[in-house]
A and B are shown apart, each in its own frame.
Chain A
Amino acid sequence: MSTTSVTSVSGTSGPPTSAVPLETDLPIVARRHPWRWVGVGVVLVLLAMFVHGLATNPGWDWPTFFQFFATRTIFSALWVTVQLTVYGTVLGFVLGAVLASMRLSSSPFLQVVAWGYIWAFRSIPLIVQLLFWFNIAYLYQQLSIGIPFGPEFVHFSTNNLFGPLGAAVLGLALHQAAYAAEIIRGGIISVDAGQTEAAAALGIPKPRQFFRIVLPQAMRSILPNGANEVISLFKGTSIVSVMAIPELFYQVQVIYGRSGRVVPLLMVATVWYIVLTTLLSIVQYYVERRFARGTAR
């Protein structure tokens, strides 16, 4: 109440002694965090040691790294990896969306089929499944369309139908679909039931209820997990090397098998995996921002 009078007094009369300010004018000092600075220091030292090691330890063999990093062989291998990722993701998520809607449908038949699929493909290790597909022609030389247990109309040679790349995409996509289905289902059930109810009460057609009202809101929780899956699939494509498909990891193995320079070639693959994962993370950031409309966070 008398703030002005006090300040004016201290301003006019005498030297500015270290006058005690009014209780309501006490300055605020932010809390200090000394341990943070200690932590920063420790991490910086460790980082410096690591970088120093990268530069000075001849074992990293940077000349060999740069010799192979941007070669035609590596690029074509990278292209195979990207193709596997794109096809695996697209097919996996499309099939996953179908499975998720089956599990959420009111039909017990569809629920059980989807549940059974997810159970089966989450139970079989990916590498085992891939080897099965790779050897499918050993089990079934021919595939045919006809009446079950009856006459057949059309025959395909199994080996012609799926090349190795086709078998790999199939294996990755089928595996991915089981996980994608659960992520999509999780996203859908996280949307308040009142949204569907309001859409139904307004007479909005079923497909539109899903695609216009529920899915965009479900995307908020689908995206972080979905991006995780895409990135994990991208690196998981390296498992396809067991099928002798010339993707990135297989190709560097071939090269270091010949030259014996294991570490620099593993670094070639690692750096490319890091570069592309970074790109995917940037894409994720923008896509998530797009779907955050109308929300606080």
Chain B
Amino acid sequence: MIDVKGVHKSFGDLEVLKGIDLEVPAGAVTVILGPSGSGKSTLLRSINHLEKVDRGLIRIDGELIGYRRRGNKLHELREREILRQRSQVGFVFQTFNLFGHLTVLENVVEAPVSAQRRKRSEVEPYARELLERVGVGDKADVYPRQLSGGQQQRVAIARALALKPKVLLFDEPTSALDPELVGEVLDVIKELARDGATMVVVTHEIGFAREIADTVVFIDDGRIVESGPPREVLDNPVHERTRAFISKVL
């Protein structure tokens, strides 16, 4: 489903990703763990081409993301084509990034209408259904700042789902939340996992990773240190660095 091969990325002199290879099968949940600054968010963002990679390939369903191969060169895609690719990928931000001047319902309806050119009349009932599903059905007509952080993040998840994406990417979805609000967001993500959505989640919630991950990937210093089922990586890590990280966050 998602296929990452030999991805390198630098910000100025700082090399953040030093050759990442990762495969995410359809219907699987992959959790990326790692200390801050390890490159995990950058990796997630490059899957959506929010960051351009310097070297390497990313494919979703066999389609090259951000580039077109002509002969032996990769040509950067036009903005419009990149936007089309992005509308097949749902992205949930750490800081929600809901559109503050639009109501909850308008937030959810916006992208399907403007990016996928679907009819508002057909999208709206679906949007309401999604809001119901993430537990904020009664908040459709309020503005984001009238909601708690947990509610905002659940709206953001509904907004990502409205595009009917092939893949969902979560960038530390609970890091900006008060501790008592973390659970309600994780419950929504778990629900999606049970429904068979393909997801990549960057998180610090080890317990949550253990519960939903099919594969846990531990990244440090721009490289994948180890990956495998949670039972292996979390409970019997092979590498010293993984062990040290897990003992610190637990």
B83 touches A203 (CB 8 A): yes
B163 touches A202 (CB 8 A): yes
Residues of A contacting B163 in the complex (Cβ-Cβ under 8 angstroms): 202-203
Residues of B contacting A202 in the complex (Cβ-Cβ under 8 angstroms): 86-87, 91, 110-111, 115, 159-160, 163
The complex places the Cα of A203 from the Cα of B165 at a distance, in Å, of: 11
A217 touches B100 (CB 8 A): yes
B99 touches A213 (CB 8 A): yes
Q: Which of B84, B85, B99 contacts A198, CB < 8 Å?
A: B99
Q: Which of B80, B91, B143, B145 contacts A201, CB < 8 Å?
A: B91
Instruction: Give the Cβ gap from A136 to chain B, nearest Cβ, in Å.
Output: 40
Given contacts A201-B91, A213-B99, contact A294 B144 (CB under 8 A): yes
Q: Is B74 an interface residue (CB 8 A)?
A: no
Q: Which of B80, B87, B97, B145 has the most CB of A within 10 A?
A: B97
Residues of B contacting A201 in the complex (Cβ-Cβ under 8 angstroms): 48, 50, 86, 89, 91, 93
Number of residues on chain A facing chain B (CB within 8 A): 23
B115 touches A216 (CB 8 A): no
Interfacial residues of chain A within 188-211, with CB under 8 A of chain B in the complex:
192, 194-195, 197-206, 208
Q: What sequence of 0s and 1s flags, for each residue 212-253 of chain A, a beta carbon within 8 Å of any chain B beta carbon? A: 110011000000000000000000000000000000000000
Q: Is A296 an interface residue (CB 8 A)?
A: yes
Q: Which of B114, B115, B116, B145 has the most CB of A within 10 A?
A: B114
Q: Is B95 an interface residue (CB 8 A)?
A: yes
Interfacial residues of chain A within 151-208, with CB under 8 A of chain B in the complex:
192, 194-195, 197-206, 208
Q: Which of B84, B103, B114 contacts A212, CB < 8 Å?
A: B114
Given contacts A206-B79, A295-B100, contact A197 B87 (CB under 8 A): no
Q: Is A293 an interface residue (CB 8 A)?
A: yes
Given contacts A201-B48, A204-B110, contact A296 B145 (CB under 8 A): yes
Q: Is B101 an interface residue (CB 8 A)?
A: yes
Closest to B144 in A: A294
The complex places the Cα of A195 from the Cα of B107 at a distance, in Å, of: 11
Q: What sequence of 0s and 1s flags, for each residue 130-169 of chain B, a beta carbon within 8 Å of any chain A beta carbon? A: 0000000000000111000000000000011001000000
B145 touches A294 (CB 8 A): yes
Q: Is B77 an interface residue (CB 8 A)?
A: no
Q: Which of A194, A203, A212, A295 contacts B93, CB < 8 Å?
A: A194
Given contacts A203-B111, A204-B115, contact A294 B100 (CB under 8 A): yes
Closest to B146 in A: A294
Residues of A contacting B115 in the complex (Cβ-Cβ under 8 angstroms): 202-205
The complex places the Cα of A38 from the Cα of B83 at a distance, in Å, of: 64
Residues of A contacting B26 in the complex (Cβ-Cβ under 8 angstroms): none
Q: Is B102 an interface residue (CB 8 A)?
A: yes
Residues of A contacting B114 in the complex (Cβ-Cβ under 8 angstroms): 204-205, 208, 212
Residues of B contacting A203 in the complex (Cβ-Cβ under 8 angstroms): 83-88, 111, 115-116, 163
Given contacts A194-B93, A198-B93, contact A204 B111 (CB under 8 A): yes
Q: Which of A199, A201, A205, A208 has the most CB of B within 10 A?
A: A201
A204 touches B83 (CB 8 A): yes
B111 touches A197 (CB 8 A): no
Closest to A213 in B: B99
A217 touches B80 (CB 8 A): no
Closest to A217 in B: B101
Instruction: Give the Cβ gap from A67 to chain B, nearest Cβ, in Å.
Output: 51
Interfacial residues of chain B within 161-179, with CB under 8 A of chain A in the complex:
163
Instruction: Give the Cβ gap from B152 to chain A, nearest Cβ, in Å.
Output: 12
Residues of B contacting A212 in the complex (Cβ-Cβ under 8 angstroms): 110, 114
Residues of B contacting A217 in the complex (Cβ-Cβ under 8 angstroms): 99-101
B83 touches A197 (CB 8 A): no
Interfacial residues of chain B within 63-85, with CB under 8 A of chain A in the complex:
79-80, 83-85
A294 touches B102 (CB 8 A): yes
The complex places the Cα of A216 from the Cα of B48 at a distance, in Å, of: 26
Q: Which of A192, A197, A217, A295 has the most CB of B within 10 A?
A: A197
The complex places the Cα of A107 from the Cα of B80 at a distance, in Å, of: 18
Instruction: Give the Cβ gap from A187 to chain B, nearest Cβ, in Å.
Output: 13
B97 touches A198 (CB 8 A): yes
The complex places the Cα of A195 from the Cα of B144 at a distance, in Å, of: 13
Residues of A contacting B159 in the complex (Cβ-Cβ under 8 angstroms): 202
Closest to A198 in B: B97
Residues of A contacting B83 in the complex (Cβ-Cβ under 8 angstroms): 200, 203-206
- A-B contacts, 6 listed (Cβ < 8 Å): A202-B110, A203-B88, A205-B83, A294-B101, A294-B145, A295-B100
18 further A-B contacts with Cβ under 8 Å, apart from A194-B95, A198-B97, A199-B99, are: A198-B93, A201-B50, A202-B87, A202-B160, A203-B83, A203-B85, A203-B111, A203-B116, A203-B163, A204-B83, A204-B114, A208-B114, A212-B114, A213-B110, A293-B101, A294-B102, A294-B103, A296-B145
State the 3 A-B residue pairs at the shortest beta-carbon distance, nearest first: A203-B87, A294-B143, A198-B97
